[in-house]
Amino acid sequence: MFSDEQRRGLIVVVPLLLAVLLLSVLVERRTEPVLLAERGPTRTEADSAAVLRPFDPNRAEYEELRLCGVPPAAAAGIVRWRRYGKVYRMKEDIALCSGVDDSLYALLKPYIVIDEEHAARPRREYSPPSPSAELSAGSGGSPRAEKRTREIRPRPFSLDTVTVPFLVEMGFSPRQSEAVLRYRDASGGIRNEEQFRRCYVVSEEMADRLAPYIVFAPAERADTDSDPCVGAADAAYGGAAALVEINTADSAALRSVRGIGEKSVTAIMRYRELLGGFYSVEQLAELDVVTESNYERILTQICCDSCKISKIDINFASPNELMRHPYVSAKALRRIVKQRQLKGGWSGIGEMIDDDIFSEEEAARLAPYLRFARDTCDR
């Protein structure tokens, strides 16, 4: 039995001991996570510590990428893009993949290997033959030297009847030659040098070299060059009336065209504003309000001056300006903004095709609205 004095002492001491014990437990629990957090590596430290090895993004599968030190999310993004048809032409393409941020790309860049089959190549420009090359060709040189000499010696030709093999012989690539013929067929023929230069695959150097050898069909009237609608009006109405030029026509002029009603006028003017103007009368077929029967009737009463369209400076236009154009998809817009930040811009539509920003069909539609340098018909 405890005495009263001992019981009072226990009543005082026991609570103090319990308080000290509880305090020590709380302190231990509070400090333990801090120590663990200090020992655990951060994501950046883990990425830096990973053993990276060279890898080919066009061939390596997910497991191989992981063995090369690529993080899981980045490896999955690289393979996923390839499944969608993506081809990695340059190291910077990896930065577009999901799971790859700027810091991770900086770590991976020295280990990215793009093989020659898929690597982007500089576009070959025409260079005149040296005198020694001409002499060797003329004195029984090799067949390859003779072929190269023939390729750089143009001869008169008509674009209305020209073929792909002939354009290849003149210096175009097979893909460029096919694009020239598609451009010719879509525009109803190439009638003058200015129209030839507007073809998106024709560089200034190529146009300067071939223009003296192109035979254009003679104009039916001397004044057709000053007004592109006069010659067509003569054919359609026997000279009685001029056609309506759809890029400058106001609502009253458009209403005067048989087959264009009030609703169609509003739709045409709005679409013209979004496009920046029409480069071909066939673009009216893209409007739902223009029926098939009306379309055939409308074509005989209108014409189009493509020099009056407004162009977009693709290297400096804001994303909002690009987004408003009907021919620029959301996917293409994202690629334009990303690639423009990486490489600074483009010198021609062909480069944008090579960078997988546009397909050839998309480029053909959009090329008349893009400005890369000084354009002949730019306002």
Please indicate, yes or no, if residue 316 is contained in any of the structural domains.
yes
Let me know whether 77 and 25 are in one domain: no
Q: 302 - beta bridge partners?
A: 244
User: Which range has highest mean pLDDT (50-54, 69-73, 129-133)?
Assistant: 69-73
Let me know whether 237 and 304 are in one domain: yes
Let me know whether 235 and 298 are in one domain: yes
Please indicate, yes or no, if residue 200 is contained in any of the structural domains.
no
Please indicate, yes or no, if residue 302 is contained in any of the structural domains.
yes
**What is residue 57's three-state secondary structure?**
coil
- Cα–Cα distance for residue pair 321/371, rounded to 1 Å: 14
| pLDDT tens digits, 237-295 | 444 457 899 999 999 899 888 888 888 899 999 999 999 999 888 888 888 888 877 88
The pLDDT assigned to 144 comes to 46
Let me know whether 284 and 241 are in one domain: yes
Please indicate, yes or no, if residue 169 is contained in any of the structural domains.
no
Q: Tell me the CATH number at 287.
A: 1.10.150.280
Is the model more confident about 3 or about 133?
3
The pLDDT assigned to 56 comes to 92
User: Which range has highest mean pLDDT (133-142, 151-160, 165-174, 230-239)?
Assistant: 165-174
Let me know whether 235 and 293 are in one domain: yes
Please indicate, yes or no, if residue 54 is contained in any of the structural domains.
yes
Let me know whether 361 and 333 are in one domain: yes
Containing domain of residue 100, as a range? Answer: 50-111
Helix, strand, coil distribution of the chain in percent, nearest 5: 55, 5, 40
Let me know whether 26 and 88 are in one domain: no
Band (230; pLDDT cuts 50, 70, 90): low
- Cα–Cα distance for residue pair 8/259, rounded to 1 Å: 110
The pLDDT assigned to 241 comes to 54
Lowest mean pLDDT among 69-78, 117-126, 287-296: 117-126
Please indicate, yes or no, if residue 187 is contained in any of the structural domains.
no
User: What does pLDDT average to over the chain?
Assistant: 77
Lowest mean pLDDT among 67-81, 193-207, 228-242: 228-242
Q: Tell me the CATH number at 55.
A: 1.10.150.320
User: Which range has highest mean pLDDT (38-42, 132-136, 344-348)?
Assistant: 344-348
Let me know whether 260 and 302 are in one domain: yes
- Cα–Cα distance for residue pair 88/292, rounded to 1 Å: 43
Let me know whether 25 and 71 are in one domain: no
Band (149; pLDDT cuts 50, 70, 90): very low
Please indicate, yes or no, if residue 84 is contained in any of the structural domains.
yes
Band (136; pLDDT cuts 50, 70, 90): very low
The pLDDT assigned to 54 comes to 92
How many structural domains are present in the chain? 5
pLDDT over 50 (residue 129): no
Q: Enumerate residues 6+ apart whose C-beta is below 8 A from 249.
A: none
Please indicate, yes or no, if residue 208 is contained in any of the structural domains.
no
Let me know whether 265 and 331 are in one domain: no
| pLDDT tens digits, 162-219 | 888 888 888 888 888 888 888 887 777 788 887 888 787 888 888 888 888 888 766 5
Let me know whether 35 and 56 are in one domain: no
Let me know whether 331 and 361 are in one domain: yes
The pLDDT assigned to 268 comes to 92
